[in-house]
Amino acid sequence: MTAAFQDVPPASPDEALPRRFGKYTLLRRMATGGMAEIFLSLQRSVAGFEKLIVIKRILPAMNQDRGFIDMLLHEARVAASLSHPNIVQTIDVGQVDGTYFIALEHIHGEDLRSIVRQMKKKGVTEFPLEHALAIVLGMCAGLSYAHEKRDLDGTPLGIVHRDISPQNVLVGFAGDVKIVDFGVAKSGSQTAEQTKSGQLKGKVPYMSPEQARGEDVDWRCDVFAAGVMLFELTTGKRLFKGSTEFETLKLIVDRDYPRPSWVAGGYPPALETIVMRALEKDKERRYQSAREMQADLEAFVRDARLPVSSIALAEFMKGLFEEKLAAQKEALMQGRQLADIIAQEIVHSEHTVNTSVDSGRFSSHNLSTNSGAVATGSVPPPGRTAKWPFIAVPLIAVAAAAAVFVLRKSDTAAPAQSKEEPAAQKASLTVKSEPAGAHIWINGEVRAELTPATIENLPIGTVDVKVGKEGYASKTDKVELTAGPAVARNFTLLKGVLKLQVDGAPANATATLDGKPVTLPTIEAAPGEPHTLVLSAPGYAPKTLKVTGELGETKKLDATLDKAAAGGAVVAKPGTAKEPPTTQPGGSGKLMVSAGGGWCNVSVDGKPQGVTPTGAIEVSAGAHSISCTNADGKTVSQGAKVNAGETTRVKFSL
């Protein structure tokens, strides 16, 4: 739904829970908003069948709003057509007592926003790369299925989610990844009025540029949102975070985007290429499908030998939410017991002459404080004259059942006192640069402002300030902030780039640098950063070059391409023979690298091997150099000797 949901207190006496709702039992109100409310519910049927589900019920005030009801039913129609492991399943849609509802699959897990908050509480400072990629891969799989979905006649449904964001991606305690909430989804079956441009739908920090401008959107806006989430999960930093929604929209539409390696040291170049392609402002240069992005991510996982696993993701989740899982299990048992009581109440009532139960309602005037004793008595509901058998249960049981299962929280639910900080505890910083118009990072987080700018409400103490501009070498400084007048810092950025002189390429060759098209033969690149140059030409096999260089340096690169025969095979150059792969006379062994006190990116003999703990890396027998680079960019190295047929383990202390 487009409404923002927030936590609510236990149900008020006018609707005590649990209670019957048609063929379902509402156990616990999970969240509510201005248009609808969400309940954890129980579905029961014959032969002991029972299943936890989620009921999304329209609020009474909105029940006469035909436009909103149409939107709710559209959500149900779109979602009901989707059946995929990475999309929450729609089970039912209907009316009870004139109130519309949607029944959804219940996911025992947490949304990404809640996961990040729990990580902070537990002191987990980095999202493990393999888990971040597992989540984004699941998102891409679900999105590609929805985008490519067709009706029974084979006509594309044209489904676009339009609200891919941390709140709408759930990770289950079994390691599953699910996309939820097609409440703002666009499909080809909608009318022009329902999808007209100019209406912003979705969460601003995850909107594509065309979405932020209010233009017509297609599936590529979901790809952009997936790119934003990939950036944030793998760097630990927000990508678009202005002081207002308007400032955030300007960041998306008008500004250049920072590269992941600018905010996270040791960021894998191949993964950065994927991120930046997903974040292309021009949707024609972006990934043209979620499946294409998924394929590149899977290739990166294979090449980096990352231990991406749903089992490992499940263990990570259980470790984060151990205490909450125990509380949920206990409260679920209480909720089921109360549901049993309701079921007995209905059975008894159905066998009482001239007696009926109003929609299975289990309200506060049905409750007694007789310590849960089973009793019957003449306590008729208003307007009834017959005796009404009832089961008395302690009020504390209802309170306990309503005290848990908080699965989704909004940004507005933070305690009010957290916003009230003394003015004396805030500082200001004025940042200028020559030339002006440079990006500003505070403690690794890119700001909405460009130089010159004065940034307010910063914390007292030492902060890392970075200033960077395209075509100039970036500069970083530590600044001590104090209360009072704004602290000023001036940065002089050195004009200069790394120049790549590409020689030997065919006349019709094209090239991309870090996923962006560039013009040959001379290319300008940012100094001090790893780059990937891909050269291609019709009739030739593509060539990939990895390059780094310093400010003002000119590097000459051999761009000679090998011709490709029919079917894509590479044709050897005249006068040369294809050399057989070299083998080491000593055979090969395996190397496994781990780290204590954190994680790091591992390289063996200068070749990236992914993050710790690595799987078994096959290497030639003999001496090897292993380096370990942590999130702060600090690198430690050591040597290791690998014997043929054996596994050597190396552990770094961070």
Using CA atoms, how far apart are residues 72 and 59, in angstroms rounded to an integer? Answer: 12
Residue 217, φ and ψ in degrees, nearest 5: -125, 160
Q: Write out the DSSP string of 253-275.
A: HHSPPPPHHHHSTT--HHHHHHH
Most distant CA atoms of the chain, gap in Å: 105
Other residues' Cβ atoms within 10 Å of the Cβ of residue 116 = 16
Q: What is the 3-state secondary structure (H, E, C) of 431-457?
A: EEEECCCCEEEECCEEEEEECCEEEEE
Using CA atoms, how far apart are residues 165 and 152, in angstroms rounded to an integer? Answer: 30
Q: Any bridge partners for residue 476, and if so which? A: 466
CA distances from 611 to 270, 540, 592, 602, 652 (A): 14, 34, 11, 6, 12
CA distances from 79 to 107, 154, 179, 221 (A): 15, 18, 11, 19
Using CA atoms, how far apart are residues 453 and 455, in angstroms rounded to an integer? Answer: 6
Q: How many CA atoms lie within 13 A of 145 on its CB side?
A: 18
Residue 592, φ and ψ in degrees, nearest 5: -125, 130
CA distances from 605 to 422, 593, 608, 639 (A): 53, 13, 9, 10
Other residues' Cβ atoms within 10 Å of the Cβ of residue 606 = 7
Tell me which residue of 26, 16, 101, 11 sits closest to 57, measured CA to CA: 101
Enter the DSSP assignment of 237. Answer: S
Enter the DSSP assignment of 156. Answer: B
Does residue 477 have an active-site annotation?
Answer: no
Amino acid at 164: I
Element (H or E) spanning 344, and its range? helix 322-350
- Contact residues for 154 (Cβ-Cβ < 8 A; gap 6+): none
Q: Any bridge partners for residue 480, and if so which? A: 462
Tell me which residue of 320, 312, 267 sits closest to 124, measured CA to CA: 320
Tell me which residue of 411, 409, 427 sits closest to 419, measured CA to CA: 411
Using CA atoms, how far apart are residues 471 and 489, in angstroms rounded to an integer? Answer: 21
User: 111, 163, 222, 514: which is the annotated catalytic residue?
Assistant: 163
Burial class (CB in 10 A: 0-12, 13-18, 19+), 195: middle
The SS3 call for residue 218 is coil
> Which residue's structure tokens are 């403690």?
443
- 217-247 as b/e: b if 16+ CB within 10 A: bebbbbbbbbbbbbbbbbbbbebbebeeeee
Q: What's the angle, vertex CA 234, arms to CA 232 and CA 235, rounded to 5?
A: 65
Whether 99 contacts 58, CB under 8 Å? yes
Which residues are known catalytic residues? 163
